[in-house]
Amino acid sequence: MTSLSDLLHQYNLHPRKGLGQNFLTDAHHLAQIVAAAELTAADTVLEVGPGPGTLTRLLAEQAGHVIAVELDPAMVHLLQAEYGHYPNLTILHADILTTPITPQLIAPPTPQPTDQPAIHQPTSPPAHQPTNPPGPYKVVANLPYYITSAVVRHLLESNPQPERLVITVQKEVAQRIVAAPGDMSLLAVSVQFYGRPKLIHHIPAGAFYPPPKVDSAVVRIDTYAQPPASVADIEFFFQVVKAGFSQKRKQLKNTLAAGLRQPTEVVVQALEQAGIDPARRAQTLSVEEWGKLAEVLQKP
């Protein structure tokens, strides 16, 4: 079997540091990611950043339809050449952060006239148009470290929303995502508002080519049908959360007053009405408590 380094050499390619290209090569860890997604032949999978396709092949062998979104045109060429025999693989040459997750994107493709997968350009929507609304889909991704938070938020806020995300991220980021009240962060609240995260598997740096400077971890996020916090205005909810974490070492009454530009006495009253001690700090609040606080603050 051709090694990844040999495969890249064959196509005259080198991992691009600017794109955060550290490719997972270890078969055991790749299998753990696929297992965490719990795929069936009925599943549609959106893969972000497939690179040379070490994970793409496994996904295409188990899922009914795989949409692989890749920014690097050289990797798109490699994917087409190496995995063109998979009729259930659609390759989208695009930036995931500027790609709307639409029903058309995740709908099953129409049969292709050749053995080649569908290749779509960044400025063009997929050629196939769904005749019926698409079913649930899952996201599987080894995310570049430098865009992790932005990609996760983009995916969780998409409509339609994935039913499950299985993402490989920096180990420290994974620990922040799954944190409990007492160690919460803006990232933790942003994820846990939309889904239930679970730390699945640790991956050492040596399992990647080239190896990054830190270890990684696999996190599974199962999204909620309804958020755990009853929120009328999601934008305002996150405005309150961001204000609370703007100076996380300070008491909430002070950080919220400064961040929301409200008198301290107004903020203290709102906190007490929501059942939250004004002397608490942002990292101690649960998602539900942030929801109660946002609801109180939004009342006229």
Q: What is the mean pLDDT of residues 227-232?
A: 86
**DSSP string covering 199-223:** EEEEE-GGGEES--SS-EEEEEEEE
Token pair belonging to 189: 């609240």
Burial class (CB in 10 A: 0-12, 13-18, 19+), 104: middle
Tell whether the torsion through CA atoms of 79, 84, 89 and 90 is positive or negative.
Answer: positive
Backbone angles phi, psi at 56, to 5 degrees: -55, -45
Q: What is the mean pLDDT of residues 15-20?
A: 90
Residue 10 amino acid letter: Q
Residue 114 has pLDDT above 70, yes or no: no
Token pair belonging to 214: 């830190």
Q: What is the mean pLDDT of residues 11-16?
A: 92
Residue 54 has pLDDT above 90, yes or no: yes
* Residue-wise pLDDT tens digits, 60-111: 999 999 999 999 999 999 999 999 889 999 999 999 999 999 999 998 766 6
Q: What is the mean pLDDT of residues 200-221?
A: 96
Band of pLDDT at residue 115, cut at 50, 70 and 90:
low
Shortest CA distance to 19 belongs to which of 249, 256, 210? 210
Token pair belonging to 174: 């994974």
Q: What is the mean pLDDT of residues 139-166?
A: 94
Residue 232 has pLDDT above 60, yes or no: yes
Q: Domains of the chain (ranges plus CATH)?
A: 4-223 (3.40.50.150), 234-298 (1.10.8.100)
CA 194 to chain centre: 11
Q: How far apart are CA 48 and CA 159, in angstroms?
A: 17
Q: How far apart are CA 242 and CA 236, in angstroms?
A: 10
pTM of the model: 0.89
| More confident of the two residues 220 and 18 | 220
Instruction: Count the alpha carbons within 13 Å of 126 in the hemisphere toward its beta carbon.
Output: 25
Average pLDDT value over all residues in the chain: 91
| More confident of the two residues 262 and 124 | 262
